Amino acid sequence: MIETMAPPRREIYRPTPWWNQMPAAALPTPQAPAAHRPPAATPATLTAAAAKTRALAVTDGLLDQMQRIEPGLSGPLYVVFGQLRKQNMAGQYFPGLAATFEADARAAGLWHGRGHGVLLDEDQYQIDFSDAAAAGLTAQQANAYATLACSGKVIHEFCHALASGFSGTEDPLGNSEFDPREVRSVVFNDSPDKLRAATAYDAALPPFQKHDAAFLRAVIHLTARMMPTTKGLMLDHVVHCEKFGLSPIGQYALGLAKELPIRAPIARLIASPAPAAFRNLWKDDVAKWYASLTNPTDLQIEAGAKALRSCP
Ligand SMILES: [Zn+2]
């Protein structure tokens, strides 16, 4: 069964924004909970059902905010919760994803037409909470930590939507690299190997292949626009560049400083020439990967060229 699909302006469930309940001093650092903190005698717990309610509340609030601040996300937005951990994923986006779940959303009375959709793992909030609690954070702090982690994943996946060039309303089958029936069955867990095979990382290609300059630019702009209303949100919650062999996201944000005050639609911004500082950082990172290859194949040369094209 579909867990939920959140349309914009969701009528049936409208949570109080979590930041109204959270004193600023209780907010954790953006990194994983401090390891030196002595664990509490009894770690705080959160039931799976309560964790899902929290994840829904966080997601709902973010969709509303994103739609208010970014025209590229003004159509219907959907979040599908499924079992992604078996694929070793916390989230996923691809063009046409929302349409893959159209029948389910219609059956649940939650279909508002074509738009962008993202997949999130349904257990991730509880896992993040438990990790924080095990490291000694109080229940309130662990909630704040899991909330920021969840927010980061939602923003991350929708930045893939902004960077993809897909409007959300085109023919989904013409744009998706996945067979929608397979994706659907994977998310609802009857063929766990298929999506993993389809999304398996090709070790020959650059580790930043799906997180290129256009994506990073979208992340920096959208996160900066979300920060004033999402207390404690930092770029590190949204993307961890080092994982992809890139310079830290903070350095990229500095490189983009001149462009940040421009409040144009993000899709338009990322198609325009980037500030030199940002472009040079990206070129250096791509060059570093390229220099690490002993005998670049045609595929790798093309991947490098494609990476450079992602930063006009
Ligand atoms: Zn990603």
Distance 43 CA to ligand 1 centre (A): 31
Among the listed residues 76, 59, 66, the one whose alpha carbon sits nearest the alpha carbon of residue 229: 66
Specify the pLDDT at position 33: 52
Kindly list the strands in the beta sheet with 116-121, ordered across the sheet, starting from the edge strand earlier in the chain. Answer: 77-82, 116-121, 91-92
pLDDT of 195: 55
241 alpha carbon – ligand 1 mean position (Å): 10
| 91 CA → ligand 1 middle, Å | 8
What pLDDT is recorded for position 166?
Answer: 86
Closest CA to 98 of 122, 73, 67, 124: 73
Distances from the Cα of 30 to the Cαs of 134, 151, 310, in angstroms? 17, 12, 28
The answer to whether residues 302 and 205 touch, using CB atoms and an 8 Å cutoff, is no
How many C-beta atoms surround the C-beta of residue 20 within 10 A?
7
CA of 25 to the centre of ligand 1 (A): 30
Predicted confidence at residue 15, as pLDDT, reads 31
Give the pLDDT score at 5.
45
Measure 164 CA to ligand 1 centroid, in angstroms: 11
User: Which two tokens mark 253?
Assistant: 């944000």
User: What does the alpha-carbon distance between residue 257 and residue 253 come to, in Å, rounded to a whole number?
Assistant: 6
**Could you give the CA distance from residue 143 to residue 30 in angstroms, rounded to a whole number?**
13
Query: Identity (one letter) of the amino acid at 114?
Result: R
Residue 156 alpha carbon to ligand 1 centre in Å: 6
Cα of 118 vs centre of ligand 1, distance in Å, is 11
Are the C-beta atoms of 184 and 195 separated by less than 8 Å? no
Using the mean position of ligand 1's atoms as its centre, give its distance from the Cα of residue 40 in Å: 34
Residue-level pLDDT at 10: 33
Picking from 19, 161, 167, the residue whose alpha carbon sits closest to that of residue 93 is: 161
Backbone angles phi, psi at 23, to 5 degrees: -60, 140
Q: In whole angstroms, give the CA distance from residue 206 to residue 214.
A: 15
- pTM, 2 dp: 0.83
8 CA → ligand 1 middle, Å: 22
Give the Å distance between the CA of 85 and the centre of ligand 1.
Answer: 15
Could you tell me which of 219, 242, 220, 237 has the C-alpha nearest to residue 288? Answer: 242
Q: Helix, strand, coil % (nearest 5) of the chain?
A: 55, 5, 40
Cα-to-centroid distance, 15 and ligand 1 (Å): 27
Burial category of 12 from C-beta neighbours within 10 Å (exposed 0-12, middle 13-18, buried 19 and up): exposed
Q: How far is the CA of 92 from the centre of ligand 1 (A)?
A: 7
Tokens representing residue 46 in the block: 């959160």
Q: Answer for the pair 128, 148: CB distance below 8 angstroms, yes or no.
A: no
Distance 159 CA to ligand 1 centre (A): 8
| Whole-number pLDDT of residue 281 | 97
Strands (DSSP E) contained in the chain are 77-82, 91-92, 116-121
Expressed in angstroms and rounded, the spacing between residue 157 Cα and the centre of ligand 1 is: 6
* Side-chain-side CA neighbours of residue 190 (13 Å): 5
Separation of 240 CA from ligand 1 center, angstroms?
10
> What type of residue sits at position 286?
V
Classify residue 5 by its DSSP letter.
B
Expressed in angstroms and rounded, the spacing between residue 37 Cα and the centre of ligand 1 is 31
Per-residue pLDDT of the chain (312 residues; tens, 9 = 90+): 344 444 433 332 223 333 333 333 343 444 555 555 555 568 889 998 899 899 999 999 999 999 999 999 988 899 988 877 777 778 888 888 888 888 888 888 888 888 899 989 889 999 999 999 998 899 999 999 999 999 999 999 999 999 998 888 877 666 566 666 667 776 765 554 555 555 555 678 899 998 999 999 999 999 999 999 898 999 999 999 999 999 999 999 999 999 999 989 999 999 999 999 999 999 999 999 999 999 999 999 999 999 999 999
Indicate the SS3 state at residue 116: strand
* Cα of 36 from ligand 1 centre, angstroms: 30
